[in-house]
Amino acid sequence: MNAVLLLKNVEVTQGGKRTLEIPELDVRKGEILVILGPTGSGKSTTLKLMAFLIKPQRGEVFWQGEKVHFPAPLSVRRSISMTFQDPLPFEGSVFENVAFGLKIRGIKGEDLRVRVEEILELLSIAHLKDKSAKRISGGEAQKVALARALIFHPSLLLLDEPLASLDPLTKKQLESELYRVLKQLGITCVYVTHDQEEALSLADRIAILDRGRILQIGAKEEVFFKPNDVKVARFVGVENLIPAEISANEEGLATMEAMGKTLEAVTPFPPGARVIACIRPEEVTLKKDGVGVEKISARNQLSGKVLSLETLGPVIKVSLDCGLQIKVLITRRSASDLSLKPGDTVLASFKATAVHVIPEDEGE
């Protein structure tokens, strides 16, 4: 494990309120760690802490294995770079903005010019070089902010919701461009967002932060498909959280009762355990009753009525009443193939492995 930065038992108190409490959080060399959490969860505070811009009231911060005393030495601060949700352009041209980080490190002349032009090229904004940084579009400004943060090849790049204020199209484009640049330069990055889609497309690892605490941290598949608890499940888009009781368990294949329905899942929970069955809406497939007779391999099949259809861009969210309510995401095409409308009877099916089982949350 190659930790670039490590937070240990840190606590941050702001205005008499504890806003952050992290027993341990490491950032590994070369990874993109996404911190996902709602507004006010302490995401930005975590980043400022990692940038050594604020001092924790308690705990320790290690940089490349060595404990850092506050105020952090300039050499440590200079290995780290951070951008904010707003691009915060400086006065002057795009070139001058991007050159700032190099200039303050004593680089000038031809070397400076070449390096600035290289990074502008890399982010495809070379044509903006002489424009005033305050007079370009939001997406362009965000790219300038990224170029400004990347130019001195930081060992750690901290990005605070860099795409949050952009329109959806620009956002998608910049997201993939950002991913390409980060991986191309091999930069270690901590990326803060409240957007689970962004997290899913950028992250190597994801940490879920809520009210200043990390609820779960792990590889993105693990967090998205195997959330620890209901809160995390909700946050990563598991829309079907069904309370159930395990009735039998044969070598890990459990049967459970949920509001009169029987579900099957792969889980070690013993009979009698009260649990929550988590099913991601995109893991459920729909068939219209009587249409098509081919065998369905999925172990869970529930017949139900369509309550409503909601269009979400390229996909459609279908709400079903199968005795218990289930939300399903299907493509527009399948919706029109099935000619779905409210009131229709459909068969919802999902695999036993698509059901992630967590213990019933005592707090809920």
Q: Which stretch binds another protein (CB under 8 A): 30-38, 74-82, 233-241, 311-319?
A: 74-82
Task: Kindly tell me the number of DSSP H helices and DSSP E strands found in the chain.
Answer: 10, 20
Q: Within a 10 A sphere around the Cβ of 310, how many other Cβ atoms?
A: 11
Q: Work out whether 83 is an interface residue with another protein (CB under 8 A).
A: yes
List Cβ neighbours of 89 (8 Å cut-off, separation of 6 or more): 97, 133, 134, 141, 144, 145
> Is 129 near another protein (CB under 8 A)?
no
Q: Give the β-pairing of 156-160 and 80-83.
A: parallel
What minimum distance in Å lies between the beta carbon of 104 and another protein?
Answer: 5
| Residue type for position 345 | T
179 near another protein (CB under 8 A): no
Task: Tell me the window of 56-64, 98-106, 244-252, 277-285 that interacts with another protein (CB under 8 A).
Answer: 98-106
Can residue 91 be called a binding residue for another protein (CB under 8 A)? yes
Per CB under 8 A, the list member of 62, 152, 179, 225 interacting with another protein is 152
Subset of 233-252 contacting another protein (CB under 8 A): none
Least distance to another protein, CB of residue 17, Å: 19
Cα distance between the two ends of the chain: 36
Nearest CB to another protein, comparing residues 123 and 284 = 123
Tell me whether residue 90 or residue 311 sits nearer to another protein (CB atom). 90
Q: Give 80 or 230: the residue with its C-beta nearer to another protein.
A: 80
Integer Cα distance of 46 and 209 in angstroms: 10
Listed ranges 70-78, 174-182, 198-206, 255-263: which one lies at the site for another protein (CB under 8 A) = 70-78
Q: How many angstroms separate the Cα of 239 from the Cα of each of 205, 223, 226, 336, 352? A: 22, 15, 13, 23, 17
CA distance 222 to 50: 25
For 71-89, letters b (16+ CB in 10 Å) and e give ebeeebeebbbbbbbebeb
43 part of the interface to another protein, by CB under 8 A? no
Stretch that binds another protein, among 58-66, 146-154, 194-202, 203-211 (CB under 8 A): 146-154
The reply to whether 5 sits near another protein by the rule CB under 8 A is no
From 2, 23, 69, 88, residue interacting with another protein (rule: CB under 8 A): 88
Stretch touching another protein by CB under 8 A, among 101-109, 186-194, 239-247, 266-274: 101-109
**Residue 304: count of CB within 10 angstroms of its CB:** 23
For another protein, the binding residue among 15, 17, 39, 74 (CB under 8 A) is 74
Map residues 155-174 to x or -, x wherever contact with another protein holds by CB under 8 A. Answer: ---x----------------
User: Three-state SS for 103?
Assistant: helix
DSSP-assigned letters across all residues of 189-210: EEEEES-HHHHHHH-SEEEEEE
Q: Is 41 in the site for another protein (CB under 8 A)?
A: no
Return the number of the residue (120 or 246) whose C-beta is nearest another protein.
120
Bridge partners, 309 (sequence order)? 318
Which uninterrupted H or E stretch holds 316? strand 315-321
Q: Which of 44, 58, 53 is nearest to 71 (CA)?
A: 53
Matching residue, tokens 């579900």:
263
Residues that bind another protein (CB under 8 A): 48, 51, 53, 74, 77-78, 80-84, 86, 88, 90-92, 100-101, 104-105, 132, 148-149, 152, 158
